[in-house]
Amino acid sequence: MSEASPDIASVLAVLETRRDDLRIAQELIEVLPIPVYFKARDGKYLGVNRAWELFFGVKRAEMIGGRVADLYPNAPGVAAKHREMDEQLWANRGDQSYEIRLTLPDGRVRHTIYYKATYSGTEGEVAGLICASASTGLARRAGRSTRPRTACIASRRGASTTRASGHSST
């Protein structure tokens, strides 16, 4: 029994470290002033931050476990475009950016740029994606280009890049 104790203690120490790492990552995502979500490979939302809730006017509890079609029940074209772009990432890990016109659940129309990147599971497989988005109008008013810059970002990481220009209307 005494031989098992160090193993259990080591496992508990690793679990505690992982729990702390997860807490830090969650807090960092939560404080970002831009909408961020992450979803699993099956397309189900695993989490969103407060900025996402404010942008879309949807509580995270209503979206966790849901799919993009649940967010856009009245705009199937927008949901289909997001699914199409996700499929590209599932097939070709890396990152991508694209613009899309969307109507939010409250009826507001936004031209939005999405920056998506895959993340890996424990075996190195594509396990899901994380996405940050911003209204292109805000970037334009601030005098910044909304042209995707993923090639520069990807080349620094050595990752493959998917470029897309998706404009959908509702």
pLDDT of residue 150: 38
83 by DSSP, 3-state: which? helix
Task: Match 């109507």 to its residue by tokens.
Answer: 103
Q: What is the model's pTM?
A: 0.71
| pLDDT digits 0-9 by tens, 54-93 | 988 899 999 999 999 999 888 899 999 999 999 999 999 9
With the CA atoms of 102, 107, 108 and 112 taken in that order, what torsion angle do they form, in degrees rounded to the nearest 10? -10
- CATH of 33-163 among 3.90.79.10, 3.40.50.150, 3.30.450.20, 3.40.50.1860: 3.30.450.20
Write the DSSP symbol of residue 94: S
Kindly give, in sequence order, each residue whose CB lies less than 8 Å from that of residue 146, ignoring residues fewer than 6 positions away: 99, 113, 136, 139, 140
Q: Domain limits of the chain?
A: 1-31, 33-163
**Strand partners for 162:** 96
